[in-house]
Amino acid sequence: MSTDDGLPIGSPSPRRVNIIFGRRKALAAALVFLFFVLVLWVIRGDSHVVAHTGSGASTLVATNPALLNPGPVTFALIIMSMGDVAAAKILMKSILIHNTLPSTFHIFCSPDVSKSMLPALRLITRPRHDTRVIFYHLSWPSMRARIEREGNLSTDDQNLPSLMKLFLHEILPASTNFVIALSPSALFLSDPAALWLENLRLAPPAAPAAALYYDSSNSKVTHANAHVLLLNLDKLREVRLMDSRVYRKVDHAANGAISSAAFRVALGPPLTSKGARYDVKEMGGEEIFWRALVGYRPDLFWGLEAGYVVEGCSRKPAGLDSGDAVDGGAIIPRLVHFDCVKHRPYTEWRGWDDPDALVTRQWGAAVQYYANFKWLWLNSEVDQTLDTAKGNETTGSSTTQHSSPTSPHGSLKMHVIKDGIIFGDERYAMQHRPQP
């Protein structure tokens, strides 16, 4: 049967056919349009990333193969006081919570510090990523002797540990090329791996000796924040950052170390009433000497973007509040330090109980979170079908390891090096000792 116009019953009329066909054409056109919009959006996004980083990922990897294997993120801490142990534990927890790469910690400390920290670390049997912790027992006499040999500085024991940041390239193992040096009174608010990649993103010939936050708005460096330092240890060793009479004795000439000239240019000659040395305590700590080095050799240093460092007690922080989607459209990783809280440990400062205190309003919740975070919570969930982790621990040239060959999680290794810490100038003297 058919209709009056000859079409089968149930067939659409020519007018309806045209409407359906038109709708399909419109839908197809809309889909094509959306496809091209999506392509343009992806291209625009890629170009934004390239513009923000300064070069494409392939270019960076081609010029710096270290980016192919960026881990582990390596940290250095100097903890000579039991009052800094609690803060250092919180810092380490914040790193292990956020870090998306393996972690290595070089901790220069007194024996009582390592003894206090080991029990908490032993609770980590299944870290998310491989974790290595090396304790070096650094003696007070050896630190005082190195300052004496440097020839320009004098300090009391209170400022001596922080001053050792200037000598980290001398006491860290020669196999350690880059390190993030931190004050114990700091904590990470986001992934430290992003900061580590800042250390690696430049090809070695162009890489600076150190990166730190400083005010570089004019030709004169007016501020330097040494609470977080990205150190290219190979470059620091190459340029011989810190002076020593040992170098002059061995070389029988000016040794080329930059510290003496840098301090005199920036600070003037030291007072003879102070033994012709700069008094670190009277001059406000080690940061003034970092400022002198930056001003004298700007080619060896570069400034971290302000967002990397947040001064916890400042009404106008060096950086920005954590989590703001600013600075070129990227959320920059943040590290906050509480050096302004003079109580040790800063976690027991009574001001945290004052809800009106500026530092409490800004960071009280974060400090409480990391302080209360349990070490056991840093363990990955165990698969009952796998072998249980086995642990052993030694000291001296010691190793503690918690791992299973088939486990999906990382392993923890700990070392305690009780003696044998030699400064770079001493090593240089031994290597250049006249042969009999």
pLDDT in tens, 282-341: 888 888 899 889 888 888 888 777 667 777 776 554 444 444 444 454 445 578 888 777
Residue 77 and residue 30 in one domain: no
On whether residue 109 sits in a domain, the answer given is yes
Residue 269 and residue 409 in one domain: yes
Q: Is the pLDDT of residue 170 over 70?
A: yes
Strand partners, 393: 400
Amino acid at 155: T
Residue 183 and residue 316 in one domain: yes
On whether residue 61 sits in a domain, the answer given is no
User: Where in the sequence is the domain holding 408, given as residue range(s)?
Assistant: 73-431
On whether residue 131 sits in a domain, the answer given is yes
On whether residue 181 sits in a domain, the answer given is yes
Q: Quickly state the pLDDT bin for 346 (edges 50, 70, 90).
A: confident
Q: What is the pLDDT of residues 187-197, one digit of tens each?
A: 998 899 988 88
Q: What percent of the chain has pLDDT over 70?
A: 67
Residue 14 and residue 88 in one domain: no
Residue 218 and residue 314 in one domain: yes
Residue 48 and residue 109 in one domain: no
Give the least confident one: 206-210, 217-221, 265-269: 217-221
Residue 262 and residue 368 in one domain: yes
Residue 34 and residue 78 in one domain: no
Give the chain's domain count. Answer: 2
**Mean pLDDT (whole number) for 251-273:** 82
On whether residue 63 sits in a domain, the answer given is no
CATH code at position 411: 3.90.550.10
The C-alpha atoms of residue 109 and residue 416 are separated, in whole angstroms, by 10
Give the least confident one: 14-23, 294-303, 338-347: 14-23
More confident residue, 133 or 367: 133
On whether residue 60 sits in a domain, the answer given is no
Mean pLDDT score of the chain, rounded to an integer?
77
Give the per-residue pLDDT at 103: 97
Residue 145 and residue 261 in one domain: yes
On whether residue 152 sits in a domain, the answer given is yes
On whether residue 175 sits in a domain, the answer given is yes
Residue 35 and residue 109 in one domain: no
Residue 100 and residue 22 in one domain: no
Whole-prediction pTM: 0.77
Chain centroid to CA 220: 26
Residue 350 and residue 399 in one domain: yes
Give the per-residue pLDDT at 333: 55
Q: What is the pLDDT of residues 87-116, one digit of tens each?
A: 999 999 999 999 999 999 999 999 999 999
